[in-house]
């Protein structure tokens, strides 16, 4: 299995390798944000309700920008859009570290959300266009794994850097997290350099908002795209309830420090990255749709365990397996969608798929903050499990025939 991935990477085009380098740099920056940002808000005195507002605003930014980003990338090329994404992520991280009041924090959170969405929506079409059919699924999984491993480095590095600045140098908790976020922002901006070396062919087709709507309406693939979109929305609703709050969950329920939370988050990313490499071989053996549904179904079991335990060791095991299993299905899903959508609709389909996922976060992010404050983390985890279950069942019944056709 490892040899297959090494061969795929070795045979990948220079464009793919440069994009992977930029992906790693940007993912490290986002990994720092994943651990530090909510804890930074807590240190400033904000509640889970305000954290929910920032989650919702970042997701709303993605909802607003995903389709325009897909259109621009289809028209002007992927490199331009990816460059704008890593720049906005860097600006958002640096900006949020330099302010301490509500409105500016929300503005820079929005900026971060724009950049994150812009970069991620361009990644799958870029791989699809710069890789052969036989290597695509492995490169999709490899890109997700690289992103997870890099995010892991950001998790553990950001968490322990903030703790070290506080303990060794004597910075305040707020100041140490501000410095850490600024360093992460610079790291994302550095990703512009490998992206600048990418050489793209000119994209001949021109798509506008009008042509976007017309082509989506007229394309024979619209039913297939709609099914993928609906399944993604259900997953997004579940993820929006729980994923943004995992660092606060470990801080509040188990009283862990920033460094320890960073290590846990890094462990989660490492398990996700490893699990994503296992996904394609499993899909080749049992089929892509059965593999996706099996992985997601097992993930739900561990989510329920996570939501119903007060033992730290059991919570850690459940957290690691939940994330690894759920996210290992992502590259298989993306590969299945790309194989069933024409080249001219790949950017649009990816945009819609990501858009509705982020819409789920927009809806459930602030709701979750209020539910946590009014009830408990356990209650929210159980609601998320319901959404995940509906999505998995829907996916199986909608796409098992598509697997047979493929």
User: What does the pLDDT look like over 23-59, one tens digit per residue?
Assistant: 999 999 999 998 899 889 989 998 878 888 898 888 8
Asked if residue 300 belongs to a domain, the reply is yes
pLDDT tens digits for 343-373? Answer: 677 767 877 887 788 888 888 878 888 888 7
Cα dihedral sign for 15, 17, 21, 23? positive
pLDDT in tens, 166-176: 989 889 999 99
Look at residue 198 in the predicted model and tell me its pLDDT.
Answer: 86
Residue 100 falls within a domain, yes or no?
Answer: yes
394: phi then psi, degrees, rounded to nearest 5: -60, -45
CA distance 337 to 351: 12
In angstroms, the CA 383 to CA 240 distance is: 11
Question: Does 143 map to a domain?
Answer: yes
Q: What is the mean pLDDT of the chain?
A: 84
Helix then strand then coil, % of the chain, to nearest 5: 90, 0, 10
* Residues 299-351 pLDDT 10s: 999 999 998 888 999 999 999 999 888 888 887 888 788 777 776 777 678 77
Mean pLDDT value across residues 212-238:
80
CATH code at position 224 = 1.20.1250.20
**Residue 240 CA, distance from chain mean position:** 11
Cα within 13 Å of Cα(239), Cβ side? 23
- Is the alpha carbon torsion for 235, 236, 241, 242 positive or negative? positive
Backbone angles phi, psi at 310, to 5 degrees: -115, 10
Look at residues 378, 180, 240, 265 and name the one whose alpha carbon lies nearest to residue 256: 265
Give 286's pLDDT tier (boundaries 50, 70, 90). Answer: confident
Q: Is residue 204 part of a domain?
A: no
Taking the CA atoms of 283, 289, 292 and 297 in sequence, report the sign of the dihedral they define: negative
Does residue 201 form part of some domain? no
**Number of domain units in the chain:** 1
Asked if the structure places residue 309 within a domain, the reply is yes
Distance CA 130, CA 191 (A): 19
C-alpha dihedral, 306 to 309 to 310 to 314, nearest 10°: -70
**Residue pair 332/286 in contact by the 8 Å Cβ criterion:** no
By CB neighbour count within 10 A (0-12 exposed, 13-18 middle, 19+ buried), where does 378 fall? middle
Q: Which residue range(s) make up the domain with 98?
A: 2-195+211-405
Tokens at residue 218, please?
């007229």
% pLDDT > 70, the chain: 89
Is residue 250 a part of any domain in this protein?
yes
Residue 301 in any domain: the answer is yes
């Amino acid at each position: 299995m490892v040899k297959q991935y090494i061969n795929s990477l070795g045979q990948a085009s220079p464009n793919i390798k440069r994009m992977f380098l930029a992906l790693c740099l940007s993912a490290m920056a986002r990994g720092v944000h994943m651990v530090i940002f909510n804890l930074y808000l807590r240190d400033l005195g904000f509640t889970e309700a305000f954290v929910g507002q920032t989650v919702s605003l970042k997701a709303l930014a993605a909802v607003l920008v995903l389709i325009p980003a897909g259109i621009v990338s289809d028209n002007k090329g992927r490199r331009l859009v990816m460059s704008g994404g890593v720049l906005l992520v860097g600006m958002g991280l640096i900006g949020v570290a330099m302010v301490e009041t509500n409105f500016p924090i929300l503005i820079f959170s929005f900026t971060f959300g724009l950049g994150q969405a812009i970069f991620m929506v361009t990644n799958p079409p870029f791989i699809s266009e710069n890789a052969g059919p036989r290597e695509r699924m492995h490169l999709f999984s490899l890109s997700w794994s690289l992103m997870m491993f890099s995010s892991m480095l950001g998790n553990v590095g950001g968490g322990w850097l903030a703790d070290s600045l506080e303990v060794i140098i004597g910075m305040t908790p707020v100041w140490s997290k501000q410095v850490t976020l600024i360093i992460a922002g610079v790291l994302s901006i550095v990703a512009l350099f490998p992206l600048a070396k990418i050489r793209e062919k000119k994209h001949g087709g021109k798509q506008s908002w009008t042509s976007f709507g017309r082509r989506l309406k007229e394309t024979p693939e619209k039913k297939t795209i709609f099914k993928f979109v609906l399944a993604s929305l259900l997953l997004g609703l579940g993820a929006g309830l729980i994923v943004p709050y995992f660092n606060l969950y470990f801080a509040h329920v188990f009283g862990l420090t920033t460094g320890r939370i960073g290590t846990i988050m890094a462990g989660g990313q490492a398990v996700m990255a490893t699990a994503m490499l296992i996904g394609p071989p499993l899909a080749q053996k049992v089929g892509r749709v059965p593999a996706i549904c099996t992985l997601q179904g097992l993930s739900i079991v561990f989510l329920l365990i996570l939501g119903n335990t007060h033992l730290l060791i059991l919570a850690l095991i459940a957290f690691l397996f939940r994330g690894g299993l759920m996210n290992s299905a992502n590259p298989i899903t993306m590969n299945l969608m790309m194989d069933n959508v024409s080249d001219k609709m790949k950017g649009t389909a990816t945009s819609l798929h990501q858009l509705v996922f982020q819409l789920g976060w927009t809806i459930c992010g602030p709701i979750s903050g209020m539910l946590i404050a009014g009830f408990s983390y356990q209650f929210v985890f159980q609601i998320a499990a319901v959404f995940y279950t509906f999505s998995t069942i829907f996916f199986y019944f909608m796409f098992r025939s598509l697997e047979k056709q493929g």
